Structure 1
Amino acid sequence: MAEIRGILFDKDGTLVDFQQTWYALADLMAMHAADGDRGRADALMVLAGYDYERHRFRADSVFAAGTNADIVALWYAGSDEARRREMTAYFDNFTAEQGALQSVPLPGSRDAIAALHRQGFRLGVATNDSTSGAEKTLLALGVAQMFDAAYGYDAVANPKPAPDTIQAFSDLTGLKAAEIAMVGDNRHDLEMAKAGGAGLAVGVLSGTGTRESLAPLADVVLDSIADLPGYLAASR
């Protein structure tokens, strides 16, 4: 493993509890798209990746891995481009405000971030949420001051799994891609790591991904980022 000096974290399922944070928000979004029709809203939830039998979001589904633009493209497939842009902006604003307010930190995540910051790692967020949503969430969690940057899908030309965010973080920090670790709970996080030449791809089981879905693309799979400081220290 190359010497790791910077770490990019996915947000939902990696820093915050995806299931607890996003079910109520996703349901409100679906009800809005369904004009208040409960049955249609349930169908939209299933279409975007919610499993009502297991009461959780499916790994690598549009909800778990996509952007608000992807959700709009799915739910408003018959609408024109202007309407889809309008709804993407609406959902971006809604999730930025409400997602931050409802964010539930994963156990040990704040302590892990503080430990890594003390050790001198450059830290960033790479999410397919909006940049505003990511920044507001970091503020709500009380860790914003420890991060160099937060990159949403709207901060780069091509969001995950494209390598753009790794390139942007590399440009900002002066680190080589091989000195950056990417940490996330879905395959698109790890696909970005590989596409961008990251030095380490870390899968975590704290979100929607499973060991079976993550292991083929990960250099290591951890239970959560609470295990990351110890893993990096042991790897040096």
Structure 2
Amino acid sequence: MPELITPQGNHAISAILFDKDGTLLEFVPLWGSWAECFLEQFTRQLEVRGLEFPAPYLASLLGTIHNAEGKITGYDRNGPLAMGTMSDLYAILSWQGYLLGLSWAESMELVDICRQEADEMLEQNRPALPLPGLLHFLNDCAAQGLAMAVVTADETAAAEKHLSWLGIRSYFSAVIGTDQTERGKPFPDMALLACEQLGVQPSAAAVIGDTNGDMKMAKAAGAAVAIGITGTAHTPGNAAGDDAADPVTARYYLLPDADSVVQSYQELSFSS
């Protein structure tokens, strides 16, 4: 059985379960651009109806970090955009429309218009970028004979599409979206289903993710190790993200349930 080497210890595994957004692909280029388009349309659609949503509170709706120009530069890794399902996001925004005076039906229709605009923008631009070192790591995993799966809060069809945009779909024997299980993260359902489809025991699988929900899912499923990958993460109240570049800070503030925390895939390897 291959041995995965992490900065905090080594683990004998036969499979790896990857989160998708923020773990395989860069989160902000894809979902930051989607959220910007969605929130812009949301504001515009409210204005058409004679309503106004306070601009300073836009960031708090989905858990996004904005610069002075309003561009999304980061995200709360334990917030709605990172952890929620698409249905969760639509419900959050529909609720805001309802609070401003729309009927629930009107608010859902407004949100659907925004969804269509944001989805069309993604389809046209396809802003999917792999995390640094990902392709090399996936090749190493394949060379070790590891079974691999994706477990994501996104819906399966969208996940399949994004993996195809990246050109990495062939690495994974299973893609488990939140629509395939009764409960999503932080519950173990998706990890257990992925292990079942891979034909491995959870105790022989590593989980790699960028949110503490991923770590909790791994622990609940009985995974061999829960590995948090931080990249250039943002800690709460730290728009620059400098502190979160320190794995110790990330471990305690962003990923307290992780067994191991790395900033990039270059910190992971296999014993020869």
Shorter-chain TM-score bucket reads 0.7 to 0.9
Tell me how far 1:80 sits from its aligned partner. Answer: 4.1
Is 2:242 aligned against 1:224? no
**What's the counterpart of residue 67 of structure 1?**
85
**What's the counterpart of residue 4 of structure 2?**
none
Tell me how far 1:14 sits from its aligned partner. Answer: 0.9
**What's the counterpart of residue 242 of structure 2?**
none
Is 2:218 aligned against 1:193? yes
Cα separation, partners in 2 of 1:82 and 1:52, compared to 1, 3 Å: closer
Is 2:18 aligned against 1:9? yes
- % identity of equivalent residues: 29
Cα separation, partners in 2 of 1:167 and 1:221, compared to 1, 3 Å: same
Higher helix share: 1
* Deviates most, 212-221 or 83-92: 83-92
1:171 pairs, out of 193, 196, 204, with 196
**What's the counterpart of residue 128 of structure 1?**
153
**What's the counterpart of residue 76 of structure 2?**
58
Q: Over aligned residues, Cα RMSD in angstroms? A: 3.0
Tell me how far 1:20 sits from its aligned partner. Answer: 2.3
Tell me how far 1:160 sits from its aligned partner. Answer: 0.9
Cα separation, partners in 2 of 1:2 and 1:59, compared to 1, 3 Å: closer
Q: In structure 2, how many angstroms separate the alpha carbons of the residues matched to 1:175 and 1:91?
A: 37
- Which SS does the other structure have where 2:126 is aligned? helix
Q: In structure 2, how many angstroms separate the alpha carbons of the residues matched to 1:88 and 1:179?
A: 42
1:184 pairs, out of 202, 209, 221, with 209
Aligned positions, number: 232
* Deviates most, 185-194 or 198-207: 198-207
2:164 pairs, out of 128, 136, 139, with 139
**What's the counterpart of residue 244 of structure 2?**
none
Is 2:52 aligned against 1:34? no
Tell me how far 1:96 sits from its aligned partner. Answer: 9.3
The alignment's TM-score, normalised by the length of structure 2, stands at 0.74
The alignment's TM-score, normalised by the length of structure 1, stands at 0.85
Q: In structure 1, how many angstroms separate the alpha carbons of the residues matched to 2:207 and 2:81?
A: 20
**What's the counterpart of residue 59 of structure 2?**
45
Tell me how far 1:143 sits from its aligned partner. Answer: 1.2
Q: What letter corresponds to residue 179 of structure 2 in structure 1? A: D
Q: What letter corresponds to residue 63 of structure 2 in structure 1? A: G
- Which SS does the other structure have where 1:76 is aligned? helix
Cα separation, partners in 2 of 1:216 and 1:69, compared to 1, 3 Å: same
